Amino acid sequence: MKKSWLYGVLALVMLVLCSVLAVYLHLQGQQRAIKEKGSELALTRTQMNEVTFVNTYYGKQDYIVVEGKTESGEKLVAWFHGDQGEVEKMSRLIPKENVLKALNKDHPNMQLAHIIPAKQDNKKVWEVLFTEGNDFYYYYIDMYNGKLMKRYKLPKMNT
């Protein structure tokens, strides 16, 4: 009787582990597909000949965001929603380093999670996600003038 319980528990543990692994591999495959699609769109629909960064921005509309360089070394950023894209020269934008430097003055203990080009209500913004203390912060900074557009503060969940 004890052996059958043991085999049942082991089978259940193996089933759970296999399920977790399957979900993980599925999500990794989706991330890889997004990066490949973003790179392909940037290389075929913009002047980029080198892709340096691909990510997804999830907002009112989802965008694949691609950063890269032209043959002459000019840095570009592109937002793709489906097959539609928009491109901007990084030289026209507030550098992300300047955004982080300004935020660091008010949040000296921040732990940066990411800073990515985003779009909020058709405005190009930097989405900055960081933690400080027991809170998560989302800041949306206008890419052209550095003005704060939106800010969210969310408490961390205690587990």
CATH number, residue 142 = 3.10.450.40
Q: Let me know whether 82 and 97 are in one domain.
A: no
pLDDT of residue 27: 64
47-89 confidence digits (pLDDT tens): 999 999 999 998 888 899 999 999 999 999 999 998 888 999 9
Q: In sequence order, which residues have a C-beta less than 8 Å from that of residue 58 and are 6 or more positions away?
A: none
What residues make up the domain containing 85?
2-89
Q: Total domain count for the chain?
A: 2
Q: Let me know whether 98 and 52 are in one domain.
A: no
Spatial separation of the C-alpha atoms in residues 50 and 135, rounded to whole Å: 37
Q: Let me know whether 12 and 62 are in one domain.
A: yes
Q: Let me know whether 104 and 47 are in one domain.
A: no
Q: Let me know whether 7 and 85 are in one domain.
A: yes
pTM equals: 0.78
Q: Output the CA torsion 141→147→101→75 (10° steps).
A: 60
Q: Let me know whether 65 and 123 are in one domain.
A: no
